[in-house]
Amino acid sequence: MAAFRMNMTHRPSPPVLTKRADFLAAARAHRQGMPGFLLQARDRKDDGPARIGYTCSKKVGNSVARNRAKRRLREVARLSMAPHLRPGWDYVLIGRPRATAERDFAALCEEALRALRKVHR
């Protein structure tokens, strides 16, 4: 994993969703399921930066498993999704039991780009 990061240029993480109301609004909008996670997205209809939130339920596992899954989702968002996020949109990545933490990282990155394309059709 360290070698993978060393070859990548530094990309800042997108702003993070923190308010429950923003998560609930995204849940009512577009959804795209992938084998490693679920992507929810909504257009806020403003010019602000794209924001992204991460969540994993207790179905994913204990706190160690949930935190590992969220760390992986953050890296997927930072490395592969960040350049393709649209301004004025909110995105939520939801971890899946076992799949998010155990799936090949490159496959998660490809799925993230595919999910973004499908949501923005």
Number of structural domains the chain divides into: 1
Q: Is 31 within the bounds of a domain?
A: yes
Using pLDDT thresholds of 50, 70 and 90, give the confidence band for residue 9. Answer: low
- CATH number for the domain that contains residue 88: 3.30.230.10
| Neighbour order of strands in the sheet with 51-55 | 30-33, 37-43, 89-95, 51-55
Q: How many CA atoms lie within 13 Å of 55's alpha carbon, on the beta-carbon side?
A: 18
pLDDT above 70: residue 7: no
Closest by Cα among 107, 106, 105, 111 to 93: 111
Q: Is 109 within the bounds of a domain?
A: yes
Q: Are 85 and 91 in contact (CB under 8 A)?
A: yes
Q: Is 82 within the bounds of a domain?
A: yes
Q: Is 72 within the bounds of a domain?
A: yes
Q: Coil, strand or helix: which one is 38?
A: strand
Its domain, for residue 61, covers 18-119
pTM value is 0.88
- Using DSSP bridges, classify how beta strands 89-95 and 51-55 pair: parallel, antiparallel or unpaired: parallel
- Each residue of 47-96: pLDDT tens digit? 999 999 999 999 999 999 999 999 999 999 999 999 999 999 999 999 99
